[in-house]
Amino acid sequence: MKRAIYPGSFDPMTLGHLDIIKRASEIFDVLIVSVLNNKEKTPLFSVEERVNILKEATKELPNVEVDSFSGLLINYAAEKDLHIAVRGLRAITDFEYELQLAQVNRLLSKGELDTVFLTTSLEYAYLSSSSVKEIASFGGDISQCVPDFVAQKIYEKFNAKR
């Protein structure tokens, strides 16, 4: 069984993330999408909310599991006996950061955790969780960026903040 992990912040999950999840789930037998619990950041959605959004968005994909993790990715991957991480690459601007992350993970794990990259579909190449949040915070249209049920949750968050 080829199992892989797709780690990320997913605050919130976008259609770009969902595209990577769908394509990776066709390559691997099991894909574990795992949300980083980063205590240093102030997220829009709690880890539990992000996990629930991902579960709802992937409910039709039987080989996709959703989880969360804290601390180093290599430790979590070792606990789960996972040796492949999936990441999406949008543009050259992602490359330096992603290369560093992949190299550090390979080094720290002594070669136990490798990273494979999927290039983002062109229609989502411009998308990021932070731009979605910024657009929504000004009441802009995010219907092309996230599933409808996620857009509703994002607007609810910003309305509650007002």
User: Least distance from C-beta 159 to ligand PNS, angstroms?
Assistant: 25
Q: Going along the chain, which residue ranges are E strands?
A: 3-8, 30-36, 64-69, 84-89, 114-119
Contacting ligand PNS within 18-77 (CB under 6 A): 36, 72-73
In this complex, which beta carbon is closest to ligand PNS, that of residue 40 or of residue 141?
40
Give residues 90-129 in contact with ligand PNS (rule: CB under 6 A). 101, 104-105
Q: Choose, from 50, 90, 133, 153, the residue flagged as catalytic.
A: 90
User: Among 67, 82, 80, which residue's Cα sits nearest to residue 8?
Assistant: 67
Strands annotated E in 16-154: 30-36, 64-69, 84-89, 114-119
Any contact of residue 150 with ligand PNS (CB under 6 A)? no
- Residues 9, 25, 109, 129: which is the catalytic one? 129
Question: Which CB atom, from 7 or from 146, has the smaller least distance to ligand PNS?
Answer: 7
Distance of alpha carbon 71 from alpha carbon 93, whole angstroms: 25
41 in catalytic set: yes
CA pair distance 66, 80, nearest whole angstrom: 13
Judged by the rule CB under 6 A, the positions of this chain that interact with ligand PNS are: 7-9, 36, 72-73, 101, 104-105
Q: Which residues are catalytic?
A: 17, 41, 90, 129
